[in-house]
Structure 1
Amino acid sequence: MSIPIALTIAGSDSSGGAGIQADLKTFAACGVYGASVITALTAQNTKGVTGIHDVPADFITAQIDAVFSDLDVKAVKIGMVARHEAIEVIAASLDRWSPKHVVLDPVMVATSGDRLLSSDAVDALRTKLFPRCGLITPNLPEAAALLNEAVAESEADIEAQGRRLLALGCPAVLIKGGHGHGPESTDYLIDNNSVIRLAAPRIATSNTHGTGCSLSSAVAAGLAKGDGLETAVRDAKAYISAAIAAADRLDVGRGHGPIHHFHAFDT
């Protein structure tokens, strides 16, 4: 039996709730084999980030080439890339290996509020990675930061920012509404032809560490299995909503705890 393979290119979270660790948990929970390329090591827990150690760009390349030269990667998820040198080599590697599906989660700030992306890397994200991805998944503050605008407050503003992000070269954007207000958490899947509104009840919990990482990984898992983009996004939204709803069943850390990636197996 063969199993779909997805690759995560992201930073390591030493507390296990976000980054590479969350991505691999998500892949496993969604029935996909996960491979990984580490772009940075973080000293991190549920309360914050105390240090970041960047992996040299040439070693990021070596990891990517090692994976693609042997494994049949069906989809790639890109998460934390803190420096423009890392973005440059990832872009070159995508050109070299031409994966069918690439999902970019433009991680800029951790759940704790700590900034994870240098200012000079933001422009490299827009110019180097956006045109090479099939989907980007910013939350509301990230979408605003990528456009140097205020955070969108209304549905019309969110859709307008989505259109402006599309103009940067990516064919689809999923703007996540977890930072919004009201009884529902609404995400917007936007391309040049449509806007699809994906709503779920807003869950009252502080245990949301790794939510964005896990959502983008769940989308990549669906694409790796052969699902279309809308189906992959809908299934990922359902998976994350259930993982957040079950998060309080875990007791991990004293800050923003992780979501429950394996909630479906919790008996």
Structure 2
Amino acid sequence: MSEKLLALVTGASRGIGRAIAERLARDGYRVIGTATSESGAASVREALKQIDGDNDALVLNIADAAQTDGALKDFLQTYGTPRVVVNNAGITRDNLFLRMSDDEWDEVINTNLTGVFRVCKSMVKPMLKQKAGAIINISSIIGTTGNGGQANYAAAKAGLEGFSRSLAQEIASRNITVNCVAPGFIQTDMTEILPETQKEAILATIPGKRFGQVEEIAGAVAFLAGNDAKYITGQTIHVNGGMNMG
């Protein structure tokens, strides 16, 4: 890459988000990763600066409208307009539907769907002026298949994919793509704590017979961010080992 293009990666403190941020940094982007706390941002900053000193991190809580607005205004003033925006930050508040509280529903929708709206609202206008860019939203297999105990999460991720297709239609003429990557079951801290019987049950449903690796999600994101994907927009790339082939 002849010059460093700017990339913003939300939720970069661990797991998939950290892998995405590090992959883009290794690919030559100037990466700014985010976390919801100062300590989380410090950890992201340290990891990214080990790859290149131009990388950085900031505190961003996409569930908080005022904080998001302020933080992203500061981002634009400090770093400029990103060429790549990866919306990875998200939460879970799992519960069976009949036991799910209004707060559990609202928190997930507010973060996983409305939070992405907030980030895009701040970033799209300067990207339109730039007339180039890629927005990549991290969805989930659950947005397609559903999952017991995750009605809130499934609704947010399905909504995210619809949002992405609609936004893609509005800004494609300005050379900006909008796509989703939908991971299946990926080996992270969350899957590590599952009981062995539950792991075996999940693996039985995956033709690939293994959990995915965070680097495999990062690879899909890197492809969508690059020049080889400039004519791909409004799509969801499923990375799930064949668990869902719809």
**Higher percent of residues as helix:** 2
- For normalisation by structure 1, the TM-score amounts to 0.41
**Higher percent of residues as strand:** 1
